[in-house]
Chains A and B, each alone.
Chain A
Amino acid sequence: MSGDSALERLKREGRIVVVGASLAGLRAAETMREKGFAGSLTMIGDEPYEPYDRPPLSKQVLLGKATADRTALPRRRDIDAKWRLGVPATGLDMTARRVKLADGDEVEYDRLLIATGVRARPWPNEEEAALEGVFTLRTRDDGAALERRLAAGPRRVLVIGAGFTGSEIASACRERDLPVTVAERGAGPLVGALGGVIGEVAAGMHRDNGVDLRTGVMVTGLEGDSSGQVRAAHLSDGSLVEADVVIVSLGAQRNTDWLAGSGLGAGPRGIACDAGCRAFNIWGIVTDDVFVAGDVARSPHALFGYQFLSLEHWGNAVAQAETAAHNMLSEGVDRRPHVWIPAFWSSQFGVNIKSVGVPSMGNEILITQGSRDERRFVGVYGYQGRVIGAVTFDQCRWLDFYEQQIEHTAPFPLPFTTVDRRSEGNKPLDADFPDPSVPTHGPTITLSGYSPADRQMTFTPAHN
């Protein structure tokens, strides 16, 4: 047939495989069908469940207002896929274009989308992690098990790590009237994502709501009783916290282990890809048939100096999946870049926290509206004289405005006066981010490129 291009053939009878059957995987699959992909579509997921939504797990579910088995994601349309659920992908052969599965099967593809996300970082001591009553929270099963334990009325809950998830868990515990201790290595909750100025506000929220917040300490060990039930935790300041539920909330690890040796540019920081979601191989050469999206991806962003951003944000997973799907079914100039402005929300202690841009890239913060004491304000982050991010506490309607400022690289501090500017908003403060070499946690942003100004690396080519 004349004019039957490879692309048309792909759309008509090609084989597309998606590894990671969650938010990004599902939205990509829907988009591919919307764009007229009529070939075979295989969805591979290691969890036995169809795609479900995670944010409610640390909110509605822990509050007992929704159950973990009822957060399945709505479908925008039928995707007519072969579902391989409950079986992990274990390997990738890029030459033969084949995905290997744990049950020995192999699935061939013409185009592959990797959307394997992240998993909760486990408690480093395996024996202690295995104690009864020690939890992490990432999956539907985690959410169900933890909710059951909280409903049973533990004597005290210990949350290790006060990133977004840890803080939301502490908030849910207090709402259920459970005694809770939070241990955080940093100077305050959320400092990795939003800096110390905001961390101080967050610390006030914990304490006013009756959380026993311990900052600047590390949990050094967990202790069980004779039946293997966790009983207490030892802290680096020498204190002991007696708790029968311990939730390890130390951030996430990228699910890239299964790609070891595949030749793909995948590692602990995720899978590097170009702005069009095409994965890099280990030589930094872009592949044309392997795409990535969601939490596992790491992609350069024009607005942020082409630094590589890894985002653990719901909205990014959706937007990147749609772009990846579009590009998987397009050629050349029809492909589009993923230039999403990072954005996320959190809800804790009855306060709606939202952010846009990359606050952690900023070094100064200006409270442009409202006040920190009222926990109702807008904080704007500045980086080298421009607006780079913003955070709102119960002021979400202003976020669009600040997003525009970020997009237009508006000067920082913002020259205009706003409707609710208080005296504390007259002068930028040091945003007070911890030393970037200290790892932090929370659904946030990791910058993993080098700024040209940094001059951190010297590359000496081999002469042969």
Chain B
Amino acid sequence: MRLVVDLNRCQGYAQCAFLAPDVFAMHGDESLLYNPQPDEEHRENVVRAVHACPVRAILLDAMNGSLSSAEARGER
């Protein structure tokens, strides 16, 4: 599972850190640190964080997995 937070948008409300503490953590008063590729077991919490973020700053993968090697070699 991959995610990215648009930190221009993020206002440090820490909802995500509350709902998925294994993935998101505040660093200082306002800075957010997150794991961009958390293990699948955290998905449920991450999805809740995505929805709870008041500024919709968290983007979660709409696709599963990475490029197949055939794709990467340009054979598709």
A260 at the interface (CB under 8 A from B): no
- Residues of the A chain whose Cβ atoms lie less than 8 Å from the Cβ of B73: 83
* A59-67, A92-100, A193-201, A452-460 - the one binding chain B: A59-67
Q: Which 7 A-B pairs have the closest CB atoms?
A: A350-B28, A352-B30, A70-B37, A74-B61, A347-B31, A74-B2, A75-B63
Cα distance A221–B48 in the bound complex, in angstroms: 52
Residues from 343 to 395 in A contacting B, C-beta threshold 8 Å:
343-345, 347, 349-352, 354, 376, 394
Establish whether residues A60 and B60, one from each chain, have CB atoms under 8 Å apart when the complex forms.
no
1/0 per residue, CB under 8 A from A, across B44-60: the answer is 00000000000000011
Q: Total A-B pairs in contact (CB under 8 Å)?
A: 102
A55 at the interface (CB under 8 A from B): yes
Cα distance A80–B71 in the bound complex, in angstroms: 9
- Tell me which of B8, B59, B60, B66 contacts A50 (CB under 8 A): B66
1/0 per residue, CB under 8 A from B, across A78-113: the answer is 101111110000000000000000000000000000
A410 at the interface (CB under 8 A from B): no
In the complex, what residue of chain A is closest to B76 when comparing beta carbons? A82
Cα distance A55–B74 in the bound complex, in angstroms: 28
A76 at the interface (CB under 8 A from B): yes
B12 at the interface (CB under 8 A from A): yes
- Residues of the B chain whose Cβ atoms lie less than 8 Å from the Cβ of A427: none
Cα distance A77–B67 in the bound complex, in angstroms: 13
Determine the main DSSP class of B at the interface with A. Answer: loop
In the complex, what residue of chain B is closest to A353 when comparing beta carbons? B31
- Residues of the A chain whose Cβ atoms lie less than 8 Å from the Cβ of B67: 50, 83
- Residues of the B chain whose Cβ atoms lie less than 8 Å from the Cβ of A397: 11-12
1/0 per residue, CB under 8 A from B, across A43-54: the answer is 000000010010
Question: Can you list 20 A-B pairs with a CB-CB distance of less than 8 A?
Answer: A53-B4, A56-B36, A59-B33, A63-B33, A65-B35, A70-B36, A72-B37, A74-B4, A74-B61, A76-B62, A80-B76, A81-B76, A82-B71, A82-B76, A83-B74, A345-B10, A376-B29, A394-B29, A396-B10, A397-B11
Interface residues of B (CB under 8 A from A): 2-4, 6-8, 10-12, 27-31, 33-37, 59-63, 66-67, 71-74, 76
- Tell me which of A55, A78, A82, A349 contacts B7 (CB under 8 A): A55
Establish whether residues A351 and B61, one from each chain, have CB atoms under 8 Å apart when the complex forms.
no
Establish whether residues A74 and B59, one from each chain, have CB atoms under 8 Å apart when the complex forms.
yes
Establish whether residues A74 and B66, one from each chain, have CB atoms under 8 Å apart when the complex forms.
no
Question: Given A50-B66, A60-B33, A74-B61, list of 15 further CB < 8 A pairs?
Answer: A55-B7, A60-B36, A70-B36, A70-B37, A72-B37, A74-B3, A74-B4, A75-B61, A82-B76, A84-B74, A347-B28, A351-B28, A352-B28, A354-B8, A394-B29
